[in-house]
Copies of this chain bind each other. A is one copy, B any other.
Amino acid sequence: MSVGVVNAARLLGRLRTLGDVGRDGQGRLVRLAGSDADKAGRDLLAAWMREAGLEVAVDRIGNMFGVWRAGVDPKAPPVMMGSHIDTVIDAGIYDGCTGVLGGLEVIQALKEGGFAPRRPLAVAAFTNEEGVRYAPDMMGSLVTAGGLSVEDALASVGTDGAILGAELERIGYAGAEEPGFLKPHAYLELHVEQGPVLEREGFSIGAVATLQGISWQRVTIVGEANHAGTTPMSLRRDAGVAAARVVTFLSDRARASNTPTVATIGCMRFEPDAINVIPSRATFTVDLRDPDEARLQEEEAALAGYLDKLQDSEGVAISVERLARFQPVTFDYRLVAMIETAARTRGLACRRMTSGAGHDAQMIARVAPAAMIFVPSLGGISHNPRENTPDADIIAGASILLDVVTSLASE
């Protein structure tokens, strides 16, 4: 049905080759945005784009694009694929790179197969998705979507004190194009799941229909330290008990709900942390997620109301610090259905799903129809050198990407 076939050896070979760029003295993969390692990765990607016969364009925030004009109306919005090639510290080789190199492979395969698209095809590598050196994360796609001015983004100061704009100049990736200069007809991002669902449930393909909104808060409860033996229950102001009440409140509420809301308390600390001393302070994180913004706000409000009452009932002082907040995203229904159809046609087990993590696609979704294709992450492991996806799943994901892009480029 498709006029091109993914070249498995080429795609997997490029993933491994790029995965060796940016190894530090300890052998860790560290390709932080704007660094020398980032330049080396970008140079390699640009060379591969040119080798595939693509035009390479770079915008002011450093987003890179490989474009196959294909001799069609140059004003026609391209079908765009992409992701990022920057990494966390001590990263695996799949996160981000799978989507960029998968997109490049799809274009190259279609070209080689003699495909005649009705609109240009493009593959993007967005700057600083990981947000390790510069905040915020997903920066390049956020600027593209108009959520952050390019000037503010370029002025970002890195964890090492270096200004992003100066670093992009230095490594040769401060481009001339205005961010958003390529407005996609549609955007598709192939990505490793970074979670356990596909592997555990036996699916090769995830058709990502929504991306959860995320609310991260740190709650600090201050009570009063006292001797565990000599302080009657009625006189206690026990920060640990108050914290435990918040944990059970959030868990009970999320469990009782019929919604996909999830609530997690991952970090917890008691002070002074002594067996015979009533905790004077408890500090913990709250991770709330929901694919629906109104529900996420409801959950935040419910927590705030509970904390208010708790201050009185437990005699404690509670403060809350917001650590992160992202609105949920609903991906394009038609694109999601196309992914499912393509998987069915190829006989691949496909599951419609929500992304628990943030991705460039959530930013591009603000300005164009967008969706994501997930492939399994063994053990759900990511941001770790043990990150792994079987070769067959990488090729399956790239093939689904090829099928959907073929359809879209024929429109």
Given that A228-B356, A380-B227 are contacting pairs, would A240 and B212 also be in contact in the complex, using a CB cutoff of 8 Å?
no
Given that A195-B227, A241-B247 are contacting pairs, would A279 and B262 also be in contact in the complex, using a CB cutoff of 8 Å?
no
Closest B residue to A216 using CB positions: B275
| Count of this chain's copies in the oligomeric assembly | 2
- Interface status of A265 (Cβ within 8 A of chain B): yes
Report chain B residues within 8 Å CB of A197. 230
- Interface status of A151 (Cβ within 8 A of chain B): no
* Cα distance, A275 to B286, chains bound together (Å): 7
Are B274 and A266 in contact, CB atoms less than 8 angstroms apart? yes
Are B248 and A234 in contact, CB atoms less than 8 angstroms apart? no
Are B266 and A277 in contact, CB atoms less than 8 angstroms apart? yes
* Cα distance, A260 to B263, chains bound together (Å): 36
* Cα distance, A251 to B248, chains bound together (Å): 13
Given that A265-B241, A268-B273 are contacting pairs, would A196 and B227 also be in contact in the complex, using a CB cutoff of 8 Å?
yes
Closest B residue to A240 using CB positions: B265
* Cα distance, A400 to B197, chains bound together (Å): 72
- Interface status of A244 (Cβ within 8 A of chain B): yes
- Interface status of A407 (Cβ within 8 A of chain B): no
| Minimum Cβ distance to chain B for residue A107 (Å) | 30
- Interface status of A1 (Cβ within 8 A of chain B): no
Are B193 and A230 in contact, CB atoms less than 8 angstroms apart? yes
261-318 of chain A: CB within 8 A of chain B: 261-270, 273-279, 282, 285, 287, 289
A interface SS class: mixed
* Cα distance, A279 to B232, chains bound together (Å): 31
* Cα distance, A265 to B275, chains bound together (Å): 7
How does the 8 Å CB contact mask read for A220-257 relative to B, with 1 for contact and 0 for none?
00000011111111100010110111011001001100
Could you say which interface size class chain A belongs to? Answer: 35 or more
Partner of A241, one of B231, B248, B262, B269: B248
Are A240 and B228 in contact, CB atoms less than 8 angstroms apart? no
Are B262 and A266 in contact, CB atoms less than 8 angstroms apart? no
The listed residue with most B CB atoms (<10 A of its CB), out of A196, A214, A261, A275, is A275
Report chain B residues within 8 Å CB of A255. 233-234
Given that A240-B247, A241-B247, A244-B248 are contacting pairs, would A195 and B276 also be in contact in the complex, using a CB cutoff of 8 Å?
no
- Interface status of A323 (Cβ within 8 A of chain B): yes
Are A356 and B240 in contact, CB atoms less than 8 angstroms apart? no
* Cα distance, A233 to B258, chains bound together (Å): 10
Given that A247-B241, A248-B241, A251-B233 are contacting pairs, would A228 and B289 also be in contact in the complex, using a CB cutoff of 8 Å?
yes
Are B248 and A275 in contact, CB atoms less than 8 angstroms apart? no
The listed residue with most B CB atoms (<10 A of its CB), out of A228, A243, A245, A357, is A228
Are B248 and A276 in contact, CB atoms less than 8 angstroms apart? no
Closest B residue to A380 using CB positions: B227
* Cα distance, A193 to B227, chains bound together (Å): 11
- Interface status of A194 (Cβ within 8 A of chain B): yes
| Minimum Cβ distance to chain B for residue A346 (Å) | 24
Report chain B residues within 8 Å CB of A285. 275
* Cα distance, A354 to B193, chains bound together (Å): 59
List 13 contacting pairs A-B, 8 Å CB cutoff, sorted by A.
A193-B230, A214-B229, A229-B289, A233-B251, A233-B263, A238-B251, A238-B264, A241-B251, A244-B251, A264-B275, A265-B270, A266-B273, A275-B285
Interface, chain A (partner B; CB < 8 A): 193-197, 212, 214, 216, 226-234, 238, 240-241, 243-245, 247-248, 251, 254-255, 260-270, 273-279, 282, 285, 287, 289, 323, 354-357, 380
Return the 3 tightest CB-CB contacts between A and B, nearest first.
A229-B356, A195-B230, A244-B247
Q: A229-B356, A267-B273 are in contact. List 4 more A-B contacts (CB 8 A).
A: A230-B354, A241-B265, A243-B244, A268-B270
